[in-house]
Each structure stands twice: as structure tokens, then as C-alpha cells.
Amino acid sequence: MKSIFSSSRSMLLVALAFFFSHVALFQQGIFAEAATLGAEGFTVPNLSCFTLVNKDDMTAAESDLSGIAYDPETGHFFAVNNGDAKVYELDSTYTKIQEWALTTLGTGIEDPEGIAAMGSRKFAITDENPALVRTMTLNADGTISNIVVASDGLTTAASNNKGFEGVAYLKNSETFIVAQEQTPVAIHSVNVATKAVTTLTNTLRDDYGWQSLGAVTKSGDATDEIFVVVKAPVEHRGIHRMTITGATATKNEKYAGHICDMSQPEGLTFYKGTDGDVYMLVVGEKVEARLFKADSTCTAAAGATVVTGTDLTCPAVDNSVPLCELTMEDRAKGVECLNTRCDTGVDDNEKVCVFTSDAATSSSCSRDECHAKCTSSAFSAGTPLAGSTCTHYAWDTIEAECYLFTECTVQNWDNEYTQYTMKDLTCERPLSTDFPNGCNDRTCSTADNVNAAAPAAVADAATCETQCKNYVGAFTCKYYTYNPTSQACHFFSTCSGEADSTGSNLYTLVDPTCERDYNANGMTGCPNRICDDSVTTSAVVCDQGAGTTCTLDECAKKCASYDGFGNAVQSQNWCTYFAYDTVDSECTLFKGCVGEKFDDDHTLYKQSYPQRSILRDLASGCTKSLALGGCPDARCDKDSNPFNKVCDKDNGNNGGIGGADAGGLCSQAQCEAYCVAGESDGGGYIASACTHWAYEPESSVEGRGECYVFSGCNNLLPDTYTTYAMATGCDLGYAAGGCENQRCAKATDASGADLYRKICDSDVTGAGGACTSVECEAQCRALTEITSSHWAFELAEQECYCFEGCESPGEDTYNVYKLDDICNKNYAKGGCPLTRCAKSPTNQHDKVCDADVTGDGGKCTEMQCMQKCAEYTGFVCTHWAFEEAEGECYVFDGCEAAHSDTYNTYLYDPQCQITKANGGCADVRCEKDSNPYVKSCDKDNVGIGPKGEMGLCSLSRCERFCTDNRIPGGAEVSAQLGAHCTHFAWEPESADLGECYIFSGCKDMSSDTYVTYLYESLEVAVATTASPGSTTTPMTKVLVIALTALFMALF
């Protein structure tokens, strides 16, 4: 009993010591000294003199803490809550005294950001949109009076949510200083008497690289300097002293230090404590507060930057994309590395479970068996990996196959596999009910990371976590370890060199990578998080400013169905994360998630591929047949589609076509048969053609269930049924995106002959080996052994199948395409090489350029051939074919049949198809409402814009903007457009300089003073603009076109 009592008494003493030291901290001078505004008796010393003395949450401000002001007359803080549009009065212990709801009390402010004390309970408060300063009296009884608009508006209105972010009141000069957050990043001065706004500087982005401001405040009684909080970019984040000279403001001192680790610094104020020392309070979202105290013996001169290291510059952000490292333990909590597999061509591996159709030779295994094989490192004896340690394993969810890996340095998308690690080497587990022990028996390296031990033993992991959050040493605590046996608590700034440590549990304060699906496993996303759109391919699809708001459910479905990141079928360029702003009903989609960071407005969700498939069906109606598994837990909307409930348990248990009790319960096969019978004429079961059927097994009768048939499936709703689309094979060609993640069945005809051919096999060297998608389509088209109707291509292995018929496609890693009878590729996509539409009665045609004709109607160039199609009046020209060797040209109305030839055929496309080398399309411009665009060069621009926009530029520079936005490899984010540039338009303002637009696509051209050009890469330009005397062969031309087609298809 004595030892137990002793231990309890020790813990109590530790807790009391912590509490009284915390109270003593305030008593030592955090309580502010009452003074008169403008006569506070201090100016701010050098920022290097300040030391962090308290790190706490200002919970009385509730949320969205965006501004702070110290009022010397009351000795209180006044804090702004941006999200709720409130102001709080707090004492020196951050206890709430009063609050004011700005919107409901009629201030006219909807988006408050900054606040400054003016004396006699009068305050200046900024409204971000529109960018204005208002003054008002915040009365002690909770009322507001004397509301006045105290500033004129900006000459150029601030962008949405980029206006006045902070305000300082310099009483001794009767001036407001306001900080404009972005576009442009600027500091303005407002004359209190006249309300006139003078811009002190709007070139902070160009001059200093600042991208976003968070706050501005005064320097005690000084009138010639201010302090601003810079939020972004990370290398400039911190507090900057600025000197005001006349109508200019220049920076001359900086501190980063503990500001680096704040989620989003938004407010700053200085005051003099009762101990005579100067204090600095920095606040940020959601309710972070950092209190610093200046050393009165510090001799560093104000205005001189003397700090070094991270005190001067925040550490660079690691924007590498982390590998997915989840264990079976994580799976039990609802998160996995779905559709992922370590690269079998890079990482050493063995396939230890293999499925074959012959049960006698098949060695498939369960997920648990695969895990057990990795646990025991069951590499085959006599192989190079025998005796190696298995670190990762991948299990095939379809064929129950298993790979074991000795490492995992590269991960690839794989439709069938789920990847697991035996041990996550980078702990990302906060203290939670899911993981109360965090990462068990683990620790960060004390040699490789700045660290410190807690001053005394602590009772539990929760207490250790609290001490980590409140730690005010030389670093910010982000990781901590706790040993339940010794009760030792240890703090770490980073966690390099993670290692095993018996008895030590490792935790992180914040999981740096969001793994939470929307509506999956009851998860609700990751609040206050977002991917960095400056380094992650993204698209805003719901925008309050554009009047396109949406619900969270709609946002998730938009992610599932989004195809704007490139060819999703070929490159897995689909949306994998989305962020939703509940207040503004805005939605941003992301391809991947690089630079995940804090965001006060958004909740971030990861969308797994299975979830994507489910939501795509919900968004667009079920597209999966019985062979593809249908759409589980969903049914077509009965209010939106013709339907009939053809099998109903209320009508009996013996349903079926023609049965005595037809209309009662039926089998799944009978349900499908009802739809088949009504597919063309309704079959008496539904008034129009059946396209979908839905089946729900009845638990009380084995093999029987209820059935609906539908004509159409608009608005698929959650339900207990599984809905199926009628199996019609794949009817989509390559241009339409094909049918992803499936492959036609390997069928045979009545004689047993195969109706398929595998013509590209990655296991074959030389002819018949791996091929491109372009080569796959071309070889299937030319195949004579079967009459190809479809082709299937697998990007990962670059393998290809050709099929004659495709009635029952099944789920697979391939993408299948209908082999179109016509050429459906325009000039930009390379057309159809060595092909010409048939000169048949169904294809009207005319040979408009003939080598045997002299003069008009004779030879022409490729561009002239295209133009002849555009101008042809004898019929509607849909296709044109050009032969380079002879300079001959055909135009066609339709292309229902085509055959091999020395011509190259192109689908006529009314959007501009003429390159710069050929003069472009004069007096037209792509429609801005129909295509993604950026005005890269604008005569009204001053300096460089947030996306690199500039003033006037040359035609060559305009073309270069398009080049820079080509997104090489599909991995890099384009500097401006965020999409693949296909056209650029230039309008001269002088002999050499003009305005420039770049576009992704050129739908709906309209008359304009611009000249629009189809983008042409340098390599293609060199190849296609050979001199008249060159000997470019038709095959060279075909190769160039084929490569262009491949490039355009992939990107």
C-alpha cells in the first residue's frame, strides 16, 4: 500500500507543480499592464530577443481564430472568429468575458479577419470581401454601437476570399495599415480622417516572394514600423518587421522559429507586461496561441535579422508522395492499400500462390494464408530469395494469388491486388481508441532527431500527449513516446530513424496522410486538411463565386466520375482525393495528394478505387453487367425510370416466366430472363426496352428473391438490391474511352476454334512481345485469322488481345475497346495512318488533289487538303485523306468502311487544326466558356501573377507558355493551366509584343482579332516542316504521326 500511495502522491505533486508553474507564468508578467493607447511606453525589440513561454489553445474563441488585438486600456485581448463572424473579449488567462456576433448585430461584416484597438472600447475590424475597414464600439454589455465604414474600397477589387486579412491602428499618426492577403499581396495605408486608401506596396510577391499574408500589427507606440505575418510560401513563413517611409513599406527583420509549426498563423499583437517586459502573442486556426517574452537584457538592435537556422527560415516541406504502408492491423480498422502492388520488376519477389483453372495444379491461397507466408518468409528453397526476410506481401482479391517481397521501393496501381506491409516503418498513429498503444514497441532515434525527456514520470499516454502539445522548449513537439511500465514520456521534433524499442509506444500528434474514405466504414474524412494544389493536380468543380455549389454527396460523386485529369483509362488519371468546404459548399478534386496540409475550411477525403466504382454508378446509373458483378446495394430510381416489379414475395414463392404462380419470388437467372425478354419490345413486362434489372435474395427461401426490371437507370439510389446492366459487351471505341478494367471472354466458335488472339505478350522477346496501345489497335485491325470486333490492352504489362465478338466481358486489369469501323481521330490525335475510307456508295467522296492534274485540282499540301475538307460544298465533309508521296487528297462524307492504303485519314474537326508553322487559324479564338484557359499575357498585368501570368509577350513566348503546360508524363502539374495545353492564341499589340491565351481543347471557336494555333511539339515541327528538297519518306511521316497519336492518346 505504501508504494501505491507513494506513486499516487508523486503523480499528484507532478500535476500540482505543472498547474502552479502554469499559473506562476501568468503572474510573472503575462498579465498586461494597463496603459493609454499611443502611450504604452514601448516599441518592439529585436525579434531574436523573444523566447516561447507558453503554448496553449485559446478554446474560448471556439474555432477559426483569425485575428487578435491587445487593448491596453482594459488589459484584455479581443479575438476574431472568422467562421462564426464573432469577436470575443478574453482576459490574460484566455477566459471569455464577453462576445459579439457581428452578423446578427448588424455590423455589415460577414467575413471578419483582423482587429485593432482604438481606445475607449472602439475597434477597427476588417471585412475580407468586400475589402473594407469598419470601426465600431464593442460595449461591455454585449451590444455594438457607432458602426462606421472607415475606408474607401480598393480601386481594383480583391479576389474572392483574398481581401483585407489584418489591420493595425497607428494612433499617433491617425492611420490604419491593412494587409491584403493575395492577388496582389499588398500593404495599404488608410487615412482615418478621409478614408482614402494609399497602396504602400503591392509588389511583395515580386520583391520578396511572399504569396499570402495572415496579419499586421503595430509596434507599440511607433508610427514608422509594423509587423506582418507571412503564411506562404513555407520558406518565407514567419513574422516580418517592416519600416514605413513616406508612402512605401520595406522589410528588414524576420523570425520563423515556432511559427513554422503553427497550422495557419492568422493574428499577432504585442503588449507590455506588469513585469516591464514586452510580450508577443501569435494566434492561428483553429485556436492555436503562442506567447513569447522578450529578454530585457537582449542587446540586439531592432531591425537587424540576427537569428539563424529554423529561427530564420522554416524547414522545406517534403512534397514527395509517400508509399502506402498499412498492415493487417490497419485493415481491421477499415483502411488498406487497395488496388496497389509493389513493382515486381523493381523489388525482389516471389509469387507463392498461383491460380490456374486446373484445381489439381492451382495453389491459390486466402488473405490470411498469404499473410502467414510473409510472416514465415516462405520463399522457395533453392531460389535466390531463399532465406530472405519478407517485408511486404500483395494478395489478389479476384484469383487469390499472393506475392511476397523483400522490399517495396516502388508501388503501382493494380486493379486486383491489395498491398500490405509487415511493419509500418513510419509511424503515423495518433493516440486513439483504434490504436491506444500507437506504434507498439517503437521509438524515434534520439541521435537523429531533436528531442527532450519530460521532466517527470506521467500517469498515462494522454498526459504525455498533452505535455507534447504544450511543450515550449527549443523545438515543437510533433512525436512522443510513452512507456507504460516506467511512465517515461519523451518528446521529438521529427522522427527519423524509427527503430524497435521494447516497452515504448510511439505516437504522432497529427497523422500526416489522410486515409479516410467518404461513407466507407463509417469514416468521415480528415477535418481541416487539404492537398497542396500548387504541387498536386487539382480541379475546383464546385465554386461559390462561380455559382456552382454542391453537397458533400455530389462532391464525392464528382470525384468518382471526373475525367479531366487526362485519359483515365490509359493512365489511371482519376480523382483519388477530394476536399469539401461545408460552409461555402465548395468542392476540389485531386489526382493524388502531395503536400497534405492544414486548411481551416475543408475536410479531406480519400477515394479508393472500389468506392469510386460504386459512386460512379450512383452518379451515372449502373453500367456493370452480371459478369462484372453489378452494382451492389443500389437500385434504379422508380420515380425516374419506367419499371415493373416482376417478382414479388407478396405474390408467392414460385415465380418464373410462364409459371403457375408467375410474379412471385424467382431465381436470379429468371430475373435476368425477364429483362432479356423485354429487351427489344418490352415483352409484356415493361412498356419500353429493358436496360437494367435488380435482384434481392429472400432470406427465407433459398435461391429465390424479388426482382425489378427497368427501362433506363437515371439516379441510382442506395438500396438492399443489386442492380445489373444488360450485358451487351463493350460498345465504346478508343475515342470514347473504352470499357475500363474488363476483358472480353476467350470464346470459341461451334467447331472449337478460338475467337481471340493474344498478339502482344510481355513474356515474349521480339515479335509478339510488348506493344503500345496504338500498335495493339493497328494489329487487331489488320488481323486476318479472325475478324476483330474488339481489342483489349493492359497498360502495366503492355499486352494486347484481339477478339471476334465480346458478348460477356469480365472484370480484369485490361481495358477493352470496340474496334470502330471508321477513323475517329482528328489531325491533333494523329489520324489513322496507312488507312483510307472506302470509295463505296455509302461513302460519298471526291479526289480534290490529284498528282495527274496540272493547275487547280493538282497536288496539294497536307494543310491544303484539310482546308479543302473545311471548304467543300458538294457534300458535308466528315473525313479527309492525304498521301504525302504524291501530294494527293480525298474528302469523304462518312467513313463506314476503311482499308489499308498509303494514305493517312483524319476525322474532320472544326476546331483549329493548323499549327504555327502553317499560319494558324486567323481571326478566330477558342471559346473561353467551353475550354479550360489562362490568359498568360495581358496588357493590363503589372508584374507576375499568381500563376506566372505576365504583361505583353512575343508569339514565341506565348507558344512557350503552351509548351510549359503540356504536363510531361502526366505526372507534373502544369504551371498555369492545370490541364494539357492543345492550342494557343496571340493578338499583336505592337510589332513584337501582344496578348496571349492558352487553351486545353478548342471547342466552339468564335470570330476575334486573335490568331489561334494548334500546338505542335518541337520534334513534330522539325519532322513535318522539312525543306522542299528533303527526302522525307512516307514511312517517316507515318512514324511521326503514329508517335503523335500515341502521345495525344496517352496525354
pLDDT along the chain (1051 residues), means of 10: 36 40 43 75 93 89 90 94 92 93 87 93 89 92 94 71 84 91 89 92 89 92 92 90 88 90 91 92 91 93 82 78 84 84 90 82 90 95 94 89 93 85 86 88 92 92 93 90 95 90 92 74 75 86 87 86 58 79 91 84 86 72 77 86 85 48 73 72 64 90 87 83 82 67 85 90 87 81 82 86 83 82 68 78 83 91 86 85 92 74 81 83 84 86 76 90 67 60 90 89 80 70 34 33 35 33
CA separation for the pair 597, 668 (Å, rounded): 49
For residue 809, what are the CA distances in angstroms to 400, 624, 789? 20, 10, 13
Q: What is the pTM of this model?
A: 0.57
Q: Whats the size of the chain, residue-wise?
A: 1051
Residue 722: predicted pLDDT: 94
Contact 364, 311 (CB under 8 A): no
Q: Is residue 623 a contact partner of residue 715, using CB atoms and an 8 Å limit?
A: no
Cβ within 8 Å of residue 167, ≥6 positions away = 114, 115, 116, 124, 125, 126, 133, 176, 177, 178, 179, 216
Check residue 841 and give its pLDDT: 64
Name the maximum alpha-carbon separation found in the chain.
116
Residues 850 and 858: their CA atoms lie apart, in Å, by 5
Packing angle between helix 552-561 and helix 609-620, nearest 10 degrees?
Answer: 100
Cis before 286? omega within 30: yes
pLDDT of residue 669: 82
CB-CB contact of 489 with 458 (8 Å): yes
739 bridge partner residues:
816
Grid-cell match 499617433, residue found:
172
- 677, 660 contact by CB (below 8 A): no
Per-residue confidence (pLDDT) for residue 119, from 0 to 100: 93
Q: What is the pLDDT of residue 460?
A: 94
Helix pair angle (773-782, 1034-1050), 10° resolution = 120
* Burial letters 544-579, b for 16+ CB under 10 A, else e: eeeeebbebebbbbbbbbbebbbbbbbbbbbbbbbb
Alpha carbon distances (Å) from 520 to 75, 335, 336, 494, 835: 50, 9, 12, 31, 49
Where are any strands of DSSP class E within 50-131?
50-57, 65-71, 76-81, 86-90, 96-101, 112-119, 122-127
Q: How far does Cα 464 stand from its chain's mean position?
A: 34
User: How would you write 832-867 as a 3-class SS string?
Assistant: ECCEEECCCCCCEEEEEECCCCCCCCCCCCHHHHHH
pLDDT at residue 2 in the model? 34
Determine the 3-state secondary structure of 777 from DSSP.
helix
**pLDDT for res 988:** 93
Asked if residue 80 lies in contact with residue 87, where contact means CB atoms within 8 angstroms, the answer is yes
Other beta carbons within 10 Å of 21: 10
Q: Find out whether the peptide bond into 809 is cis, omega within 30 degrees of 0.
A: no
Residues 6+ apart with CB under 8 A from 428: 508, 511, 512, 513
CB 481 within 8 A of CB 444: yes
Could you tell me which residues come within 8 angstroms of residue 1046 by beta carbon, excluding any fewer than 6 positions away?
772, 773, 774, 830
Closest to 270 (Cα-Cα) out of 513, 497, 40, 471? 40
pLDDT computed for residue 1049 by the predictor? 35
What is d(CA 213, CA 828) in angstroms, rounded to the nearest whole number? 43
Strands of the 392-396 sheet, one edge to the other: 337-342, 411-421, 392-396, 402-405, 349-353
**DSSP-derived secondary structure letter, 427:** -
Collapsed DSSP state (helix, strand, coil) of residue 645: strand
